[in-house]
A = this chain, B = another copy of it.
């Protein structure tokens, strides 16, 4: 039941789900787009067992979605960054966000703005003012007022500040 093999399903969606369809993987990738790079930061924010997180990261590196590099702040540990292939998942994450948030009002609502012009992206992740679909690096995200029961871990708090996608989160471990 937990396998990730949809080999008998000859379709591109099945191929995508073999890479990103496991539980927690898309939330982990959401965090990577928000700038989370360190194991401990993923762990604090996702609040999942370390073994599960390690296994998900290992798969994503093996599948070419994430790249594991020495931590510039501490060469003995590592940071995980989206590869160009991983960055192409931005429209998937954006479409899920739009669908999941379609009935959500201000509190806890994340918005996505095109950096050069400040216009909010439309449901297709396009900038209506510029007529382009900006790459994730050109997108600023903001967060509405936190819900009263919002998480208070240091990563959650940092990610509620306005931030550019893919800009490294510097919360140390």
A: residues with CB less than 8 A from B are 1-2, 6, 8-17, 19, 21, 23, 26-27, 30, 46-47, 52, 88-89, 91-102, 104, 108-110, 123-126, 133, 146-147, 149-151, 156
**Supplied contacts A9-B27, A12-B104, 10 more A-B pairs, CB within 8 Å:** A1-B52, A8-B151, A12-B101, A14-B27, A16-B97, A17-B27, A21-B23, A92-B99, A124-B124, A124-B125
How many copies of the polypeptide does the oligomer hold? 2
Q: Are A151 and B10 in contact (CB under 8 A)?
A: yes
Q: Are A47 and B97 in contact (CB under 8 A)?
A: no
Report the bound CA distance from A65 to B148 in whole Å: 28
Q: Are A13 and B1 in contact (CB under 8 A)?
A: no
Neighbouring B residues of A17 by C-beta, 8 Å: 26-27, 96, 100
Report the bound CA distance from A108 to B156 in whole Å: 42
Q: Are B99 and A91 in contact (CB under 8 A)?
A: yes
**A65 shortest CB reach to chain B, Å:** 10
Report the bound CA distance from A93 to B12 in whole Å: 10
**A160 shortest CB reach to chain B, Å:** 9
